[in-house]
Structure 1
Amino acid sequence: MDSLETRELRYFLAVAEELHFGRAAERLGMAQPPLSRAIQQLERRLGVSLLDRNRRGVALTGAGEVLLDEGRAALDATTAAARRTRRAGGAGSPDGPRNRLVLAVKAAASHELLRKLLDAYAAEPDAAEVEVLPCGLCEQALLLRDGRADVALMYTPFNSLAGFDSEELMTEGQIAVLPAGHPLAARSTLSLADISDLPGLPPARWPGDGTYPPGPGPEIHDQTQLAQLIALGRTVAVLPESSRAWLWSGHAAVPVTDAPPVVTHIAWPTHSRSLALAGLVRTAARL
């Protein structure tokens, strides 16, 4: 039998992530014996061993590793489907049913581009309500996959577009953002080599895929933290040209001539069939 129930997947994922039946049962709010029986029944139905059980504890088999990855993706997909369905039906709206789109944007997104996009789309006939969801660094992909967002503004080379459809909206150069009093702030241009090893001013680090690259610079969690550390003379960052819009008086911005261009994309899940989303993408492409 090839089908799986979401209940079975939740049970298995709890055990696979905890690697302990007692902790998994507590997490699920159930007794341990029925959880153990459910996993055994799942293994019999699939005809494979998912877990190695011994005196030292529980470990995943090769088949268990596959089901862990696939099961997470499957449950994420069902959660995303429920969230998007509720939005499409206007669930929770005080004004009754109305189609709604959630657009995920990082806090430092180009305000001018976003304003033009929202204004142009709002003027379209039958435009859906668009909720702008500010997000942290590199969170857009997660929000799209779990259904908290329908569409996102993403930026290459910083964000991966793998698994999504997308349209290019804008290409821009990059700037070095330094403390205003730094000697390099007086330069008309800089190269990446100029700022790669500045004494006492290590480059900021932020997660491109959920993990931080090695290096002496601070790990950046949000735009405000980055802005403050630059103004305090603790770090330097290379950012898209449009970041000038949020710079503080304690910052200086200098173009970096050899930094790769940054391309802004509007991205959405490949399986989406939303007419409202298609209309937003068409508007964005025209811009």
Structure 2
Amino acid sequence: MHQVNVQQIECLITLADELHFGRTAERLGYSQSRVSQLIAQLEHRVGARLVERTSRRVALTRIGEQFVDEVTPAYAGLLTTFQRARDRAMRGALEELRIGFSGMVYEQVTAAFLELRTTHGVRVHSVDLPLGSPFTALLAGDVDGAIVELPSEDDRLVVGFEFPAQDRLVAVGRGHAFADRDEIDVEELACLDMLHRDGDAPEHWKMVHTPIVTPDGLPIVSTTGVTSMQQGLVLAATGDHAMLVCRAYIEYNQRSDVRFIPVRGLEGTSRLGLLWRADAAAPQLAALAELLATTVR
């Protein structure tokens, strides 16, 4: 079965305007035989004569007139869509950024999104990412950028903006043996069953967010993985598990069933970053990074 293509539609609409095969061919840059061929193919696909041609005149049939009336708006819309895409490609513009997140979207971040839309006409569509797979969707091109936990040592990724560093505290349920403590020593992490982030993140990343040994070399047990912060807090609240959580996250997630305890001697802080692929950088991502530098405190 022959398929309708844009050339056939374009040819019929132009012929309806010119009512002359020679002028139609000249306007489209085709030969007259090519115009005749395209019209014949379209008529075969429709199953009816669309054009009447004699030695003296060219005219549309009634079916042809109705077809042109109905198809012209759709054709015009298609041309407009192509032109907009071409314009965006020429200026490197995107009207929407897909930004992945593996945690909360803080108010300061949404303020940057709103400013990006106001000043650059670019909307942000947020995409949830698994907590333990911060880079997978970005590397696959499923998102344009990602605001996720660092570090990143992948040369394929660019860190466009680093958020301020945050202290990390350990989250335990109200019934936990450490719940009444004001502070614990980093070596006491060996007494806890620490929740780890399930996913395909690189090992160096996992080691930062769930250490496997204390500074003195004591092993830190981790029997259970989580794919979101909320899942981790629920497990901490209802069992014997514990989880390292950054201070900024705690400020937006106060809970009566979880205690957040500082860890004395814990090296390294938690830091988020806005990342994008090195081979897919866009000026809108750089603009977002600049806005985040202004709005995030």
For Structure 1 versus Structure 2, the TM-score category normalised by the shorter chain is 0.5 to 0.7
Name 1:148's counterpart in structure 2. 142
Number of residue pairs matched? 189
Q: 1:216 to 1:146 in 2, by over 3 A?
A: closer
Name 1:278's counterpart in structure 2. 286
Q: In structure 1, which of residues 91, 103, 109 is the aligned counterpart of residue 104 of structure 2?
A: 109
Are residue 195 (structure 1) and residue 184 (structure 2) matched? no
Q: 1:196 to 1:162 in 2, by over 3 A?
A: farther
Paired residues of 1:89 and 1:99 also in contact (CA < 8 A): no
SS in 1 for 2:256: coil
Are residue 164 (structure 1) and residue 157 (structure 2) matched? yes
Q: In structure 1, which of residues 186, 205, 214 is the aligned counterpart of residue 196 of structure 2?
A: 205
CA distance in 1 between counterparts of 2:133 and 2:286 reads 22
Cα shift at 1:89 = 4.0
Q: Deviations over 1:152-180 (max 9, x none)?
A: 112224x5554211121221110110011
Q: Deviations over 1:126-171 (max 9, x none)?
A: 23111011111133311111111111112224x5554211121221
SS in 1 for 2:142: coil
The CA RMSD measured in Å over matched residues stands at: 2.9
Cα shift at 1:242 = 1.8
Cα shift at 1:277 = 1.9
Paired residues of 2:101 and 2:147 also in contact (CA < 8 A): yes
SS in 1 for 2:194: coil
What fraction of aligned residue pairs are identical, expressed as a percent?
15
Name 1:179's counterpart in structure 2. 173
Q: Displaced runs of 4+ in structure 1, greater than 6 A?
A: 211-214
Q: Deviations over 1:100-130 (max 9, x none)?
A: 1001011x3352342333233333x223111
The amino acid of 2:284's aligned partner reads A
CA distance in 1 between counterparts of 2:111 and 2:95 reads 21
Q: Which has the larger radius of gyration?
A: 2
More displaced, 214-223 or 242-251? 214-223
Name 2:274's counterpart in structure 1. 266
Residues 42-121 of structure 1: matches in 2 within 5 Å? 89=85, 99-106=95-102, 108-109=103-104, 111-121=106-116
Q: 1:253 to 1:216 in 2, by over 3 A?
A: closer
Q: Deviations over 1:234-286 (max 9, x none)?
A: 30011111221234321111122333111221111112242222211221233
Name 2:122's counterpart in structure 1. 128
Gaps spanning 5+ residues in structure 2: where? 1-81, 87-92, 213-220
SS in 2 for 1:253: strand
